[in-house]
Amino acid sequence: MRGQLAGKVVVVTGCASGIGQAIAEAVAAEGAAVEGVDRQEVRESQVADISDVGDVERVVADIKRRRNHIDALVNCAGIWASGTVVTTDQELWDRIFAVNVRGAFLMSRAVIPSLEARGGGSIVNIASNYGLVGGRNAAAYAASKGAVVALTRAMALDHAAAGIRVNCICPGTVDTPLIRRPMREMVPEEARALTASRLARHPLGRIGTPADIAPGTVYLISDGSSFVTGAVLPIDGGYTAQ
Ligand SMILES: NC(=O)c1ccc[n+]([C@@H]2O[C@H](COP(=O)([O-])OP(=O)(O)OC[C@H]3O[C@@H](n4cnc5c(N)ncnc54)[C@H](O)[C@@H]3O)[C@@H](O)[C@H]2O)c1
């Protein structure tokens, strides 16, 4: 069904790359007006660091001024870093939480009054399978994504009476620059071993593509999910079923 988001204004963070880019394209293909936000400059999006309160308030005020209303927010921008608690320095820990958790908080806080004024709306947080089960050598990242899952449920309860639904998607490994970048620094055998172990951990026998994540996001924004809130949806090839 095409056009299921016709007339809606949807803000998508992290729209310049990977999953956020696929979501922005899918949301636009369903008839929504997309307002992209990213720290990288791309066509028809706003440059902002979502961890910075001044940037967030500036871009959301600008969207409200130009569009008059906002119907949905997709908190997709995020960063990855490897490390155990022993090998992660404090600055990196704080940066991961600033983007992955504070960013979703600041964007939601700035957008929720517009959703309330509209009589309701939808927020979709992109968390991770690492927010549901442990992942080795990813202590800060996993902790930040666990926080996004908990934040989703807390927000779903706080804003249900205002008609605002808040859900999250937990992707498994998805082929994007986020996973390709660290692999470039590995020796070939290490990269091959990592690829093999990733395939083995996804029962469907492949890793995901950004296009695997976008339709679930469209569903959670659409009126077809009007009785869904506080849901945590793994889209992970079976990774967390084990
Ligand atoms: N790729 C995976 O395997 C995977 C798995 C589970 C969850 N996720 C999550 O999906 C989301 C998207 O990841 P991706 O794989 O598409 O990564 P990506 O690196 O391809 O894209 C992330 C985008 O977020 C933007 N961004 C990063 N920090 C920002 C900031 N401070 N302010 C504004 N924009 C910022 C980047 O510029 C980039 O365009 C992230 O939250 C990530 O944690 C990814």
**Which residue's alpha carbon is at the smallest distance from atom 17 of ligand 1?**
178
- Give the CATH number of the domain where residue 94 resides: 3.40.50.720
Does some domain include residue 207?
A: no
Going by the DSSP 8-state scheme, the letter that residue 91 receives in this structure is H
User: What is the residue-level pLDDT of the chain in tens, covering all 242 positions?
Assistant: 579 999 999 999 999 999 999 999 999 999 999 999 999 999 889 999 999 999 999 999 999 999 999 999 999 999 999 999 999 999 999 999 999 999 999 999 999 999 999 999 999 999 999 999 999 999 999 999 999 999 999 999 999 999 999 999 999 999 999 988 888 889 999 999 988 999 999 999 999 999 999 999 999 999 999 999 999 999 999 999 99
For residue 79, report the distance from its CA to the centre of ligand 1, in Å: 5
Q: What is the DSSP string of 73-88?
A: EEE-------B-TTT-
What domain range includes position 100? 9-174+213-224
Does some domain include residue 191?
A: no
Does some domain include residue 49?
A: yes
Q: Residues enclosing ligand 1, CB less than 6 A?
A: 13-14, 16-20, 38-40, 49-51, 76-79, 99, 103, 126, 128, 171, 173-174, 176-179
Q: Are residues 123 and 111 in contact, defined by beta-carbon separation less than 8 angstroms?
A: yes
Does some domain include residue 206?
A: no
Burial of 15 (0-12, 13-18, 19+ CB in 10 A): buried
Is 219 a residue of the active site?
no
Does some domain include residue 59?
A: yes
For residue 161, report the distance from its CA to the centre of ligand 1, in Å: 31
H or E, element range at 190: helix 188-201
| Tokens 């800060």 sit on residue | 140
The pLDDT of residue 2: 79
The pLDDT of residue 1: 59
Number of domains comprising the chain? 1
